[in-house]
Amino acid sequence: MIRCNPKGLCSWNFDIAGCGHSASTELNWLGEQGNITIDGVYHEVRKHGVFSGHWTLEANLTPVANAQKSSVFTRTFELETSSGAVTLRAQSALGRTMLLEGPGFNGVIAPVHPFTRRTTITGQISDFRTACFAFWLTLLLWRRDAQHDQS
């Protein structure tokens, strides 16, 4: 099991630990970019255009994973990683639980309970870096929903 804990009460930045690895995520305050430090290696998350549904995870300016949001109407991403093609999708139309599926992956990203941002990643996870990128994308969706609820 991988545990994802917010760095503060209202923070969208998280510490991640599990499977002998650790990471730290940051969402930029403005925009939909950020970074992930995975086992001490800094990775930049870049969005390719304001209206684009395409993100890359880069280490030393080299893309190591891509994510493409399949539609503006769904919460689904198609990820291309060193592990192969993986899908990140919402389990249901209304819940926050996300499923990570593909070769070597049959995982669930879910809040510990409905009133917290503390999260666990359970199931078969063959690549920690891919799980961290999927979690970062999940946080992005959750933050979008929270901002939409406030307006």
Task: Write the DSSP symbol of residue 31.
Answer: S
Is residue 136 predicted with pLDDT exceeding 70? Answer: yes
pLDDT tens-digit profile of 37-89? 999 999 999 999 888 999 999 999 999 999 999 888 889 999 999 889 999 99
Measured over the CA atoms of residue 23, residue 27, residue 29 and residue 30, the dihedral's sign is: positive
Q: What angle do CA 35, 103, 71 make, to 5 degrees?
A: 60
pLDDT score recorded for residue 150: 60
Structural domain span for residue 90: 2-150
> Stretch 18-27: mean pLDDT, rounded?
96
pTM of the model: 0.95
Q: What is the pLDDT of residue 149?
A: 65
pLDDT of residue 151: 55
What's the number of domains the chain is made of? 1
